A and B are shown apart, each in its own frame.
Chain A
């Protein structure tokens, strides 16, 4: 049996199955085998249309209007004025920069920690289960409560910075852009990485023990086993998790609203927060929609690039031939 299933191979096989299906239909009666028809996708398509496409289309419409949220004064068409503003608004460039920075930092912190703790947690000793259970606690807390909690913990006069000046300096963590971003990244890491640990734990447990046994016989140490077996075997999980983190961070909002309010000087105002400010504080829903669409496009581009680069769309099994 070939270890590598080529694309041609797959195509020939599916072509063959079409023919088989054709045979079944010729014999009359309902189709009993084969792939699900369009009908199966109706609930998903309907759901997606109502809750994603429809608002998206409406946001496109709003982006060409002036509307301040008062129903009795319907949106007024203003042409491309909102879109022109996009290119003269220094806030949007800063916001995109902050958003991308936060996304990159979230991925490079959460993935390694998730992989390491997940692989560690995959061990079956009971004490590990206890530690892991404790580690999962942040996952159970509401983000709003967590943000308020960390806000108090990081208060420069009464919180950790006052107790540990050697670590936090003057304690003005939320007063400088990069330390404020670092705080947000840290809280996301603390709050979200248990979820990824859980995913990686499951994935790591799915790696066949026989691989490690073979590697041991070949004299591979633990580090070599981790890099040559565990990581490659987790590849698809890493890609999936990365997409989750990227999309999750792109649409992050709550911590920023509660902890920094986009400050200092909009240094943490990522796109969703910027959109909220424009649409619901300034009541400029036209420009708010423009920002929402920028977010959609940016998110789509990033996920497309990721899918392309990682080969996620092929989704070859990492255990082919085992």
Chain B
């Protein structure tokens, strides 16, 4: 008797693991059809609840001044539980009418499930819903020619941040080429500085190096093909050269010896760069705000930034960039008030919304953003310089490759992060890495 009890109890504790699966999977509702089951005269927006949510709240407040159907902002925790929360609520009475996503791969399964409203009708009625945005960004949620998302929040390409004093002390100028980066790494390492701060513990910062090594060596167009499932791209000579470029940097100690124990989320690399223990960091636009919050004096006096260096002999076009395009607002297929949703989406290119985003330090993906930066007198000189730099970087880029882990199917995301981290820590050699990438990007059903 006791034995059975113990067995039941222990297996019960283990079964708690399964509770999460149950709660996220209880029976679904029905999709499609304007529906009375949704709240009367309310349009619910699931906002990703971080610091940037204030601009969306303000947009809702402005909209509600004139609208009979009121926009209700439901703030969800701003972390990686957000996509799960949205997925599991769609089709229920608590579902949002409008929610946020991260690009085509992120919404692919929702599109397949018929849970997202195609926006082409909206765009036909209000062309500005498309023409107001930078095309390279807007295309991030166009799937098979159908538009599903309207860009909002900041454009976030990655580029190199550097500590001016550290470079000056070593008698160096910011690297203009990959070769510069290699030779400077040796000089910096000799002077006891970690040449490049890398938050390897978080894995996603590591892929930024692959994104540029490959963009420079084979070009974004090839990269996009590879990520879409062209296995030959990864096995090509250019791909192997890019991997050699990276292993050269790693072997020379460009990232130090402990990058796998350094995190971005716990401000490990932020401290390295701002305290002068590292010279460079490859990171997204948001790093400016992170550095300024952690060490305002450093950000004001010693922080520099440059586009990722070029590579002699590479096949990539000059100025190609990578990073996060933007976030997008999507509309649930079963929304009760599609017209209200359409009208609210117009807020995303309104002057007020663009200004609010700029005030937050985000670069809105609208074509108007450049003019607003120039005209805005409330932004301080350094921030203006920074935003202009990012705007020009995006505006002049021949192509903008979305972060790899957000381009591949959702199921391959962690595998890809593990593969890039594995190559950096030496547990995968280039042959094994190529095999992994081919498997991770293989089209479904193969």
**Chain A interface (Cβ < 8 Å from any Cβ of B):** 48, 51-56, 58-59, 62, 67-75, 148, 151-152, 154-158, 161, 170-176, 243, 247, 250-251, 260-261, 263-266, 272, 275, 277, 279-285, 288-289, 292-293, 295-296, 299-300, 303-304, 307-308, 312-315
Which chain A positions have C-beta within 8 A of B92? 71
**Chain B interface (Cβ < 8 Å from any Cβ of A):** 2-3, 6-8, 10-22, 24-31, 80, 83-84, 87-92, 109-110, 112-115, 194, 200-203, 257-263, 266, 268, 271-272, 275, 277, 333-334, 410-414, 418, 421-422, 425, 427-428
On whether the beta carbons of B421 and A247 are closer than 8 Å, the reply is: no
Which chain B positions have C-beta within 8 A of A275? 17
With A55-B19, A62-B25, A152-B266: A70-B12 Cβ-Cβ less than 8 Å: no
On whether the beta carbons of A247 and B10 are closer than 8 Å, the reply is: yes
With A264-B425, A282-B413: A296-B17 Cβ-Cβ less than 8 Å: yes
* Of B13, B90, B200, B277, the contact of A71 (CB 8 Å cutoff): B90
On whether the beta carbons of A70 and B87 are closer than 8 Å, the reply is: yes
On whether the beta carbons of A251 and B268 are closer than 8 Å, the reply is: no
Which chain B positions have C-beta within 8 A of A279? 20-21
On whether the beta carbons of A300 and B260 are closer than 8 Å, the reply is: no
Give the docked Cα–Cα distance between A162 and B327 (Å).
Answer: 39
On whether the beta carbons of A58 and B6 are closer than 8 Å, the reply is: no
On whether the beta carbons of A70 and B6 are closer than 8 Å, the reply is: no
Which chain A positions have C-beta within 8 A of B259? 175
Give the docked Cα–Cα distance between A263 and B420 (Å).
Answer: 12
Which chain B positions have C-beta within 8 A of A299? 10-11, 13-14
Give the docked Cα–Cα distance between A151 and B271 (Å).
Answer: 14
Give the docked Cα–Cα distance between A35 and B298 (Å).
Answer: 74
- Identity of the chain A residue whose Cβ is nearest the Cβ of B32 in the assembled complex: A72
On whether the beta carbons of B266 and A155 are closer than 8 Å, the reply is: yes
With A70-B110, A71-B28, A74-B28: A55-B6 Cβ-Cβ less than 8 Å: no
On whether the beta carbons of B25 and A265 are closer than 8 Å, the reply is: no
Q: Output the least CB separation between B380 and chain A (Å).
A: 29
Which chain B positions have C-beta within 8 A of A313? 2-3, 6
15 more A-B contacts (CB under 8 A) besides A264-B421, A265-B425, A312-B6?
A53-B12, A71-B92, A72-B334, A155-B262, A156-B258, A176-B260, A251-B13, A265-B422, A272-B17, A296-B11, A300-B11, A304-B7, A307-B2, A313-B2, A313-B3
Secondary structure call for the A interface? helix
- Identity of the chain A residue whose Cβ is nearest the Cβ of B268 in the assembled complex: A155
Give the docked Cα–Cα distance between A161 and B22 (Å).
Answer: 43
On whether the beta carbons of B261 and A56 are closer than 8 Å, the reply is: no
Which chain B positions have C-beta within 8 A of A71? 25-29, 87-92
* Of A151, A158, A264, A303, the contact of B260 (CB 8 Å cutoff): A264
Give the docked Cα–Cα distance between A283 and B81 (Å).
Answer: 12
On whether the beta carbons of A154 and B261 are closer than 8 Å, the reply is: yes
On whether the beta carbons of B261 and A59 are closer than 8 Å, the reply is: no
On whether the beta carbons of A53 and B15 are closer than 8 Å, the reply is: yes
List 27 contacting pairs A-B, 8 Å CB cutoff, sorted by A: A51-B19, A54-B22, A55-B18, A62-B21, A70-B87, A72-B29, A72-B31, A72-B91, A73-B113, A75-B25, A157-B268, A158-B271, A175-B258, A175-B260, A251-B16, A263-B201, A263-B203, A263-B260, A265-B427, A275-B17, A280-B20, A281-B80, A296-B18, A299-B13, A300-B11, A303-B7, A312-B6
Which chain B positions have C-beta within 8 A of A158? 268, 271, 275
Q: Output the least CB separation between A239 and chain B (Å).
A: 10
Give the docked Cα–Cα distance between A288 and B25 (Å).
Answer: 12
Which chain A positions have C-beta within 8 A of B410? 68, 281-283
On whether the beta carbons of B17 and A292 are closer than 8 Å, the reply is: yes
With A67-B25, A70-B110, A299-B11: A264-B266 Cβ-Cβ less than 8 Å: no
* Of A54, A58, A151, the contact of B25 (CB 8 Å cutoff): A58
